[in-house]
Amino acid sequence: MNPLRALARWRRRHRTLPLLGDTRLRGEREAGLLRWSVKVLGAEMAQRHYAAGLAGPAAPVPAGPVHLGLASRTCRQADIEHDWLRHWARILGTPPVYHRKLWEDAFVLQAAWEAGMLSPGRRALGFAVGREALPAILAAHGVEVVATDLDAGDARARDWIETGQHGQAVEALYRPKVLARAEFDRLVSFRPADMARLPESLQQRGFDLVWSVCAMEHLGSLERGLDFVMAAMRCLKPGGLALHTTEFNLDGAGGTVGRGSTVLYQRRHLEWLAARLAAEGHRMLPLDDNQGPGMLDRFIDLAPLLESEGPPLGPLFPPHLRLSVQGYPVTSAGILVVSGGA
């Protein structure tokens, strides 16, 4: 199979050849057009919701944060249209758009605020922070932040560096519109750390809050991601809060991706995690995986088009609350765990 896979990769990189022209088969060309059409329809639905003021730049923004009683949950359309997310979208510097990655950042901030963690004197530890705005926002609330990411010299960091998603130093985390430089330098520090082998120096129960966004699914297997969550609990003080977002396969009864660069968790895996946490005295708040009644809750976005796979008819911005990953319907899930301090 390896030669066949190599040939498939070569064909994806060489869509046209000087003498042969377009190397794609008819079915491949039509599949590209179908993906394009799906995105067009999704973008049209999203634009109508934005025009109605349900989300987007025209949506009203509350004067401050709104209490929700957040627990572990999956992303859904109603969240994007709710005041709780609109507030954090403003803090993050973006309109409330139908995108699950915005939801993930907002989930962390909302849960931390509701737990009283966004206040001076708190200490927070972030994993695989890349170039997130979260360290600066936490610091703007007086929180002392230790931000971590893979060492830049680690071969596993290469893809993240090439795509601009890796945090190689504290400089990548500074947001001048969020807080003054002197205050940022006082409260935010950076150190390399491997999520698969957390340094003992971090596992001393010295933090009030730990978080990771879109990270635990990239450790190579379902088990490694769950092992990371367990290890991260040893970084928390008693009563501390762990917040993690990850890829969630909405098809709980079917198959999933259990190994590889991106794995897909199902409800049963998170229920197993909750049981493991409980056995060590911690409490994971129950998972609400209601898929939501909205039209955009039922729209499944497809992988981005390659330049040669669709007509150049201008940019499209379809809703991205659900995504097909290897044919599985995927969204984002947020996990909220309270440390028992065992």
* All residues at 6 or more sequence positions from 315 whose CB lies less than 8 Å from its CB, including other chains: none
pLDDT at 160 over 50: no
Res 326 pLDDT > 90: yes
CB within 8 A of 31, min separation 6: which ones? none
32 three-state secondary structure: helix
pLDDT of residue 163: 47
pLDDT band (50, 70, 90) for residue 34: confident
* Among the ranges given (96-100, 160-164, 253-257, 338-342), the one the predictor scored with the smallest mean pLDDT: 160-164
- pTM as predicted: 0.88
The pLDDT, as a whole number, for residue 32 is: 79
Residue 249 has φ and ψ, to the nearest 5°, of -85, 110
Mean pLDDT for the stretch of residues 275-283? 98
Does residue 190 have a pLDDT over 60?
Answer: yes
For the range 168-175, what are the long-range contacts, defined as Cβ-Cβ under 8 Å and sequence gap of 24 or more? 172/130, 172/131, 173/129, 173/131, 173/132, 173/133, 173/135, 173/136, 173/147, 174/136, 175/93, 175/133, 175/136, 175/137
Q: What is the average per-residue pLDDT within 174-200? A: 96
Q: Mean pLDDT score of the chain, rounded to an integer?
A: 89
